[in-house]
């Protein structure tokens, strides 16, 4: 290094050794070569970094996750589950997926033909080389049984509702109000009080379907808070998402994000809604008795409401922007399906940061408006047709082989 820094301005060639001169020249060349190489490496690293960053950004912009098509939905009674079921059945039909459907004849089971309940083996069959994709009919939750249907796993979801609101809805839907009043018109105020007083005195009977029942809690454990609490901790592990009816649009957006679905896949019209319940208020005494009677449901609702909001906040601030956008789309869908189809054959939804462009057709409105039992008729017939076609093809192939 001293040779480099003390390199003289003039070099008397006669007095220098040729070897020393060669070393000095070689060192100088090496120094300048290293300097040029360093600059080239710096530039090269910067260029590679910029190109890689641009590629990553372009990839993330274009990248789309794959839609999940294995969904186990626990259809909880009187919790907005018919509307969710309608969404899932339409999705299954659109993509040619197999539904888990009960093998029941409507003539023999006019009101329960669409309910699986605990009859886990009475299902409409599917082709041997295919799998079940979606469950959205009533079933009592049993993880071991559901694993038989979804051997390669599924996204487990359910929906819960404020227990007191659900009680009122059930009272109308299942005929409890008619039973209490014997079909006569009485004062709406305090109509449930005497009934609830009798229920609290006779806590050994359960004459309505609680959310806890649908989630698999046996009635004998309804009053064992420690057991129910442990059971809820198990459900917390086993369910990917439990939606909240009171925040239905937020629930659907969260479901959409977790399933990697599109806005088109979750548009809906309300199914099986009963607004008459709003005319009957519960007294403070009624509410107190209900809280005692429905303690497992209160615990379920409280726990999963807290968990739901934690999941929402983990989505980031744009979640609520997407919810507002979805509400605006829903408003247009309702208007089109009510009267808009008279003026136009389809509703055009433009692309946004949350969805691709799509058209909503009149037949989509028809599907969304179809009541639960009739829609079950349709999807059950389709699944039987598919299976029968598979059987006929198999027979034909066997004949050809012989």
Same domain, 97 and 10: no
Of the given ranges (180-184, 286-290, 293-297, 349-353), which has the lowest mean pLDDT? 180-184
Report residue 339's pLDDT band, with 50, 70 and 90 as the boundaries.
Answer: confident
Q: How confident is the prediction for the chain on average, in pLDDT?
A: 81
103: which 2 tokens?
């093998």
Given a cut of 70, whether residue 107 has pLDDT beyond it is: no
Q: Give pLDDT, residue 135.
A: 97
Given a cut of 50, whether residue 38 has pLDDT beyond it is: no
Out of 62, 80, 95, a domain closes at 62
Quick check: is 194 in a domain? no
Q: Give pLDDT, residue 168.
A: 85
Same domain, 129 and 55: no
- 3-state DSSP of the chain: CHHHHCCCCCCCHHHCCHHHHHHHHHHHHHHHHHHHHHHHHHHHHHHHHHHHHHHHHHHHHHCCCCCCCCEEEECCCCCCHHHHHHHHHHHHHHCCCCEECECCCCCCCCCCCCCCECCCCCECCCCCCCCCCEECCCECCCHHHHHHHCCCCCEEEEEECCHHHHHHHHHHHCCHHHHHHCCCCCCCCCCCHHHHHHHHHCCCCCCCCCHHHHCCCCHHHCCCHHHHHHHHHHHHHHCCEEEEHHHHHHHHHHHHHHHCCCHHHHCCCCCCCCHHHHHCCCCHHHHHHHHHHCHHHHHHHHHHHHHHHHHHHCCCCHHHHHHHHHHHHHHHHHHHHHCHHHCCCEEEECCECCECCEEEEHHHHHHHHCCHHHHHHHHHHHHHHHHHHHHHHHHHHHHHHC
Q: Give pLDDT, residue 6.
A: 37
Report residue 342's pLDDT band, with 50, 70 and 90 as the boundaries.
Answer: confident
Same domain, 10 and 144: no
Mean pLDDT is highest, among 10-24, 238-252, 278-292, for: 238-252
Out of 62, 88, 104, a domain closes at 62
Our count of domains for the chain comes to 2
Same domain, 333 and 371: yes
Given a cut of 60, whether residue 49 has pLDDT beyond it is: no
Same domain, 140 and 238: yes
Of the given ranges (198-202, 249-253, 385-389), which has the lowest mean pLDDT? 198-202
Quick check: is 331 in a domain? yes
Quick check: is 338 in a domain? yes
List the domain range (segments joined by +) for residue 13: 2-62
> What is the pTM (predicted TM-score) of this model?
0.79
Same domain, 28 and 155: no
Q: Give pLDDT, residue 327.
A: 98
- Burial-class residue 329 by CB neighbours within 10 Å (0-12, 13-18, 19+): buried
Report residue 50's pLDDT band, with 50, 70 and 90 as the boundaries.
Answer: very low
Report residue 48's pLDDT band, with 50, 70 and 90 as the boundaries.
Answer: very low
Report residue 268's pLDDT band, with 50, 70 and 90 as the boundaries.
Answer: very high
Given a cut of 90, whether residue 162 has pLDDT beyond it is: yes
Q: Give pLDDT, residue 272.
A: 66
Same domain, 374 and 322: yes
Of the given ranges (27-36, 50-59, 216-225, 319-328), which has the lowest mean pLDDT? 50-59
- Burial-class residue 377 by CB neighbours within 10 Å (0-12, 13-18, 19+): middle
Same domain, 17 and 137: no
Same domain, 49 and 146: no
Quick check: is 95 in a domain? yes
Of the given ranges (11-15, 148-152, 389-393), which has the lowest mean pLDDT? 11-15
Quick check: is 249 in a domain? yes
Out of 62, 88, 111, a domain closes at 62
Quick check: is 296 in a domain? no
Q: Give pLDDT, residue 219.
A: 87
Same domain, 84 and 56: no
Q: What is the pLDDT of residues 343-369, one digit of tens each?
A: 888 999 999 999 999 999 999 999 999
Quick check: is 261 in a domain? yes
Q: In the chain, pLDDT over 90 holds for what percent of residues?
A: 55
Quick check: is 197 in a domain? no
Same domain, 111 and 84: yes
Of the given ranges (86-95, 143-152, 277-286, 288-297), which has the lowest mean pLDDT? 277-286
Same domain, 77 and 152: yes
């Amino acid at each position: 290094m001293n040779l480099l820094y003390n390199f003289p301005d003039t070099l008397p060639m006669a007095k220098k050794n040729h070897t020393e001169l060669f070393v000095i020249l070689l060192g100088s060349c090496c120094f300048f070569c290293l300097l040029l190489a360093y600059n080239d490496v710096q530039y090269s690293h910067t260029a590679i970094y910029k190109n890689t960053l641009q590629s990553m950004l372009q990839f993330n912009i274009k990248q789309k996750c794959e839609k999940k098509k294995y969904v186990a939905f626990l259809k909880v009674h009187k919790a907005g589950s018919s509307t969710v079921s309608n969404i899932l059945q339409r999705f299954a039909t659109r993509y040619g997926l197999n539904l888990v459907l009960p093998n029941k004849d409507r003539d023999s089971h006019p009101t329960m033909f669409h309910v699986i309940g605990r009859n886990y083996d009475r299902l409409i069959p599917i082709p041997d080389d295919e799998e079940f994709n979606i469950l959205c009919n009533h079933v009592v939750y049993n993880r071991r049984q559901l694993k038989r249907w979804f051997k390669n796993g599924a996204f487990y979801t359910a929906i819960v509702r404020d227990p007191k609101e659900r009680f009122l809805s059930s009272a109308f839907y299942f005929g409890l109000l008619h039973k209490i009043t014997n079909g006569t018109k009485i004062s709406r105020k305090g109509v449930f009080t005497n009934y609830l007083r009798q229920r609290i005195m006779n806590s050994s009977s359960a004459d309505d379907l609680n959310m806890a029942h649908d989630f698999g809690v046996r009635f004998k454990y309804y009053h064992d808070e420690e057991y129910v609490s442990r059971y809820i901790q198990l459900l917390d592990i086993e369910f990917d998402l439990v939606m909240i009816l009171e925040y239905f649009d937020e629930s659907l957006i969260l479901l959409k994000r977790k399933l990697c679905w599109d806005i088109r896949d979750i548009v809906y019209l309300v199914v099986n809604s009963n607004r008459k319940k709003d005319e009957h208020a519960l007294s403070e005494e009624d509410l107190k008795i209900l809280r005692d009677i429905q303690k497992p449901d209160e615990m379920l609702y409280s726990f999963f409401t807290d968990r739901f909001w934690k999941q929402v906040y983990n989505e980031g601030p744009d979640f609520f922007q997407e919810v507002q956008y979805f509400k605006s789309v829903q408003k247009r869908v309702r208007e089109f399906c009510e009267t808009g189809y008279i003026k136009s054959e389809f509703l055009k939804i433009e692309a946004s940061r949350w969805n691709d462009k799509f058209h909503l057709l009149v037949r989509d409105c028809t599907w969304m408006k179809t009541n639960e039992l009739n829609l079950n008729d349709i999807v059950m017939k389709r699944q039987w047709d598919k299976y029968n076609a598979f059987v006929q093809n198999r027979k034909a192939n066997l004949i050809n082989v012989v």
